[in-house]
């Protein structure tokens, strides 16, 4: 075999080997491409799903905020936040009964209920006053719509009470003739006089008798 034949055979073998190598590599790339594409597609789908979930959460949050805002009312006369476990309850009073307008949010007061009773046997009337609540916090005075001037001439006071005190106060509001408030020193925490009661006979002068 001469040199020329050797070169030709070598060239042919080289082409064959190169072709086999190319086919092998190309086949591997084709096999890997679908898997890679599948992984990429899965990542894209997961990202899209996460984005949709976050958007849904954000939309829900915005809707909730809008709903809460729609339910909010603008209070000209704000109220102190009610302590956890307590209740807010309003009672009707006049200026004299409400310490002449000196009651303000966070004031501490004692509550007196008074009533008039009549002894059927003697036909005499008696006026009674009893201390029903001690060291109670005032949440606000007046109505929510009152402005700064109107709130000084309040006819209601909102107190912070327990559920039990609220029930008792509600019953007293129906049974009694009204309430008086006693303003306390902020540092005075002493209690223990609840139930203190004073009763006196109602004395009618001649003028009142004539009116009847």
pLDDT digits (tens, 9 = 90+) for 151-185: 677 788 999 999 999 999 998 888 777 888 999 99
Give the C-alpha separation, 170 to 113, whole Å: 11
Selected residue with higher pLDDT from 208 and 81: 81
Q: 91 in a domain, yes or no?
A: yes
Confidence class of residue 1 from pLDDT cuts 50, 70 and 90? low
> Chain-wide mean pLDDT for the chain?
79
If asked whether residues 92 and 184 sit together in one domain, one would say: yes
If asked whether residues 66 and 132 sit together in one domain, one would say: no
**Rounded mean pLDDT, 55-61:** 85
If asked whether residues 58 and 137 sit together in one domain, one would say: no
Say yes or no to pLDDT of 87 above 70: yes
Please tell me the total count of domains within the chain.
Answer: 2
Q: 6 in a domain, yes or no?
A: yes
Per residue in 17-50, pLDDT (tens digit) is: 777 777 777 666 655 555 555 666 777 777 778 8
Q: 42 in a domain, yes or no?
A: yes
If asked whether residues 107 and 9 sit together in one domain, one would say: no
Say yes or no to pLDDT of 66 above 90: no
Q: What DSSP string runs through 134-184?
A: EEEEEEEES-TT--TTGGGG-SEEEEEE-HHHHHHHHHHHHHSSEEEEEE-
Do the bridges between strand 156-161 and strand 178-183 make them parallel or antiparallel, or are there none, so unpaired? unpaired
Say yes or no to pLDDT of 86 above 90: yes
The pTM of the whole model exceeds 0.75 = no
The pLDDT score that the predictor gives to residue 134 is 95
Under a CB-based contact definition with an 8 Å cutoff, are residues 114 and 176 in contact? yes
If asked whether residues 64 and 92 sit together in one domain, one would say: no
Q: 79 in a domain, yes or no?
A: no
Q: 93 in a domain, yes or no?
A: yes
3-state secondary structure of 78: coil
Domain endpoint, select from 72, 95, 117: 72
Selected residue with higher pLDDT from 95 and 134: 134
Which H or E element spans position 4? helix 3-71
If asked whether residues 50 and 20 sit together in one domain, one would say: yes
Give the C-alpha separation, 166 to 1, whole Å: 120
Q: 46 in a domain, yes or no?
A: yes
If asked whether residues 42 and 118 sit together in one domain, one would say: no
* Structure tokens that stand for 24 in this block: 């092998």
If asked whether residues 136 and 192 sit together in one domain, one would say: yes
Q: Which residue spans within the chain are E strands per DSSP?
A: 87-92, 108-119, 124-141, 156-161, 178-183, 197-201
If asked whether residues 52 and 93 sit together in one domain, one would say: no
Cα-flanking dihedrals φ and ψ of residue 46, to 5°? Answer: -65, -40
3-state secondary structure of 189: coil
* Structure tokens that stand for 51 in this block: 């984005």
Confidence class of residue 122 from pLDDT cuts 50, 70 and 90? confident
Q: 209 in a domain, yes or no?
A: no
Domain that holds residue 22: 1-72
């Amino acid at each position: 075999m001469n040199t020329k034949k050797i070169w030709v055979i070598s060239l042919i073998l080289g082409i064959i080997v190169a072709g086999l190598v190319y086919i092998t590599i190309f086949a591997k790339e084709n096999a890997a491409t679908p898997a890679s594409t599948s992984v990429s597609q899965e990542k894209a789908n997961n990202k899209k799903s996460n984005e949709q979930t976050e958007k849904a959460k954000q939309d829900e949050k915005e809707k909730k905020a809008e709903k809460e805002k729609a339910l909010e009312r603008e209070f000209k006369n704000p109220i102190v936040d009610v302590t956890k476990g307590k209740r807010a309850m309003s009672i009707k009073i006049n200026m004299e009964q409400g310490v002449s307008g000196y009651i303000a949010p966070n004031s501490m007061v004692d509550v007196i209920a008074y009533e008039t009773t009549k002894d059927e046997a003697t036909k005499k009337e008696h006026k009674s006053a009893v201390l029903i609540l001690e060291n109670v916090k005032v949440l606000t005075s007046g109505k929510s719509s009152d402005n700064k001037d109107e709130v000084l001439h309040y006819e209601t006071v909102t107190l912070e009470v327990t559920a039990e005190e609220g029930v008792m106060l509600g019953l007293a509001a129906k049974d009694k003739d009204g309430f008086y408030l006693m303003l306390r020193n902020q540092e005075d925490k002493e209690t223990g006089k609840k139930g203190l009661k004073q009763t006196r006979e109602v004395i009618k002068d001649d003028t009142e008798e004539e009116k009847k």
